A = this chain, B = another copy of it.
Amino acid sequence: MLDIIPIHPAPSPAANAPALLQEIAAALDVLLLSGRRHCIDLGSLPLSPADRDLLRETLGTGEIRMELEALGNSRIEETGVPGVWWVRHSSEDGILLTESLEVCHVPEIVPADTTDIAIGLRRLRQRIAVPESGGH
Protein backbone atom coordinates (compact mmCIF):
# COMPACT_ATOMS: atom_id res chain seq x y z
CA MET A 1 0.00 0.00 0.00
CA LEU A 2 1.71 3.11 -1.19
CA ASP A 3 0.86 6.43 0.42
CA ILE A 4 1.10 9.65 -1.50
CA ILE A 5 4.11 11.50 -0.18
CA PRO A 6 3.40 15.22 -0.06
CA ILE A 7 6.21 17.18 -1.67
CA HIS A 8 6.78 20.73 -0.42
CA PRO A 9 9.63 22.27 -2.42
CA ALA A 10 11.28 25.21 -0.64
CA PRO A 11 9.49 28.14 -2.24
CA SER A 12 11.66 30.69 -3.98
CA PRO A 13 11.04 34.31 -2.96
CA ALA A 14 7.57 35.47 -4.02
CA ALA A 15 6.93 32.33 -6.05
CA ASN A 16 3.16 32.38 -5.69
CA ALA A 17 2.12 35.98 -5.08
CA PRO A 18 2.36 37.09 -8.74
CA ALA A 19 -0.09 34.36 -9.84
CA LEU A 20 -2.39 35.20 -6.91
CA LEU A 21 -2.43 38.86 -7.90
CA GLN A 22 -3.40 37.87 -11.45
CA GLU A 23 -6.17 35.67 -10.01
CA ILE A 24 -7.41 38.61 -7.91
CA ALA A 25 -7.46 40.94 -10.93
CA ALA A 26 -9.43 38.35 -12.93
CA ALA A 27 -11.84 37.88 -9.99
CA LEU A 28 -12.43 41.65 -9.78
CA ASP A 29 -13.30 41.63 -13.48
CA VAL A 30 -15.85 38.85 -12.87
CA LEU A 31 -17.24 40.73 -9.83
CA LEU A 32 -17.76 43.86 -11.95
CA LEU A 33 -19.29 41.94 -14.85
CA SER A 34 -21.52 39.45 -13.04
CA GLY A 35 -21.44 40.26 -9.30
CA ARG A 36 -19.99 36.83 -8.58
CA ARG A 37 -17.78 36.65 -5.49
CA HIS A 38 -14.49 34.72 -5.27
CA CYS A 39 -12.53 33.43 -2.30
CA ILE A 40 -8.83 32.48 -2.22
CA ASP A 41 -7.91 30.24 0.70
CA LEU A 42 -4.41 31.41 1.67
CA GLY A 43 -4.03 28.51 4.12
CA SER A 44 -4.01 26.00 1.27
CA LEU A 45 -1.13 27.72 -0.55
CA PRO A 46 2.59 27.57 0.21
CA LEU A 47 3.27 31.26 0.79
CA SER A 48 6.80 32.36 1.63
CA PRO A 49 7.36 35.52 3.69
CA ALA A 50 8.39 37.18 0.41
CA ASP A 51 5.02 36.15 -1.11
CA ARG A 52 3.18 37.69 1.84
CA ASP A 53 5.21 40.89 1.63
CA LEU A 54 4.51 41.23 -2.10
CA LEU A 55 0.76 40.61 -1.57
CA ARG A 56 0.64 43.17 1.27
CA GLU A 57 2.63 45.79 -0.63
CA THR A 58 0.71 45.41 -3.88
CA LEU A 59 -2.77 45.26 -2.32
CA GLY A 60 -2.07 47.95 0.30
CA THR A 61 -4.34 48.95 3.17
CA GLY A 62 -7.93 50.15 2.90
CA GLU A 63 -10.23 52.23 5.06
CA ILE A 64 -12.27 49.57 6.87
CA ARG A 65 -11.38 47.16 9.66
CA MET A 66 -13.94 44.83 11.24
CA GLU A 67 -14.01 42.50 14.19
CA LEU A 68 -16.62 39.82 14.49
CA GLU A 69 -17.08 37.72 17.60
CA ALA A 70 -18.89 34.51 16.65
CA LEU A 71 -17.45 31.02 17.12
CA GLY A 72 -14.06 32.59 17.77
CA ASN A 73 -12.86 35.87 16.33
CA SER A 74 -12.86 37.09 12.74
CA ARG A 75 -10.79 40.06 11.61
CA ILE A 76 -11.68 41.51 8.24
CA GLU A 77 -9.56 44.23 6.66
CA GLU A 78 -10.29 46.02 3.45
CA THR A 79 -7.18 46.14 1.29
CA GLY A 80 -6.22 49.24 -0.69
CA VAL A 81 -7.90 47.60 -3.71
CA PRO A 82 -11.66 48.14 -3.18
CA GLY A 83 -13.51 44.83 -3.31
CA VAL A 84 -10.56 42.80 -1.97
CA TRP A 85 -10.81 41.86 1.73
CA TRP A 86 -8.26 40.08 3.90
CA VAL A 87 -10.15 37.75 6.26
CA ARG A 88 -8.67 35.88 9.23
CA HIS A 89 -10.65 33.59 11.49
CA SER A 90 -9.17 32.49 14.85
CA SER A 91 -10.36 30.13 17.54
CA GLU A 92 -11.34 31.43 20.97
CA ASP A 93 -7.77 30.64 22.10
CA GLY A 94 -6.40 32.96 19.41
CA ILE A 95 -5.15 30.21 17.08
CA LEU A 96 -5.42 31.18 13.40
CA LEU A 97 -7.83 28.71 11.76
CA THR A 98 -8.40 30.14 8.30
CA GLU A 99 -7.01 33.01 6.25
CA SER A 100 -8.44 34.08 2.94
CA LEU A 101 -8.73 36.87 0.43
CA GLU A 102 -12.35 37.56 -0.48
CA VAL A 103 -13.16 39.38 -3.70
CA CYS A 104 -16.66 40.81 -3.27
CA HIS A 105 -18.60 43.99 -2.49
CA VAL A 106 -18.87 42.97 1.16
CA PRO A 107 -17.73 39.77 2.90
CA GLU A 108 -20.59 37.29 3.13
CA ILE A 109 -20.48 37.10 6.94
CA VAL A 110 -21.19 40.82 7.47
CA PRO A 111 -24.74 41.60 6.23
CA ALA A 112 -27.53 40.73 8.66
CA ASP A 113 -29.30 37.61 7.49
CA THR A 114 -33.06 37.76 6.78
CA THR A 115 -33.86 34.87 9.15
CA ASP A 116 -31.81 36.48 11.94
CA ILE A 117 -33.60 39.81 11.39
CA ALA A 118 -37.00 38.12 11.65
CA ILE A 119 -36.04 36.34 14.89
CA GLY A 120 -34.52 39.54 16.34
CA LEU A 121 -37.62 41.56 15.44
CA ARG A 122 -39.87 39.04 17.22
CA ARG A 123 -37.70 39.32 20.37
CA LEU A 124 -37.61 43.13 20.16
CA ARG A 125 -41.41 43.26 19.86
CA GLN A 126 -41.76 41.07 22.96
CA ARG A 127 -39.44 43.36 24.91
CA ILE A 128 -41.11 46.63 23.94
CA ALA A 129 -44.68 45.35 24.25
CA VAL A 130 -44.22 44.88 28.02
CA PRO A 131 -42.51 48.11 29.03
CA GLU A 132 -43.18 47.91 32.77
CA SER A 133 -45.60 45.43 34.18
CA GLY A 134 -48.48 45.29 31.75
CA GLY A 135 -48.74 46.08 28.07
CA HIS A 136 -51.36 45.12 25.55
The answer to whether B82 touches A117 (Cβ under 8 A) is yes
Whether A120 contacts B64 in the complex (CB less than 8 A), given A18-B128, A105-B111, A127-B58, comes out as: no
Q: Determine whether the beta carbon of A28 is less than 8 Å from that of B81.
A: no
A125 to chain B, nearest CB (A): 6
> Given A66-B65, A66-B66, A70-B63, are A112 and B121 also a contact pair (CB < 8 Å)?
no
| Contacting residues, chain B, for A63 (C-beta < 8 A) | 68-70
Instruction: Give the residue name and chain of the B residue nearest to A85 (CB).
Output: B112
Provide the residues of chain B in CB contact with A67, threshold 8 Å: 64-66
A95 within 8 A of B: no
- The residues of B that contact A136 with a CB separation of less than 8 Å are none
Cβ-neighbour of A28 out of B22, B29, B124 (below 8 A):
B124
Measured between beta carbons, the chain B residues less than 8 angstroms from A131 are 18
Return chain B residues, CB-CB under 8 Å to A21: 124, 128
Min CB distance A76 to B, Å, is: 8
Shortest 3 CB-CB distances between A and B: which pairs? A82-B116, A106-B111, A83-B117
A-B contact pairs, 23 of them (CB 8 A): A21-B124, A22-B128, A25-B125, A25-B128, A28-B117, A31-B117, A32-B117, A32-B121, A58-B124, A63-B68, A63-B69, A64-B68, A65-B67, A65-B68, A78-B112, A81-B124, A82-B112, A82-B113, A83-B116, A83-B117, A83-B120, A83-B121, A105-B111
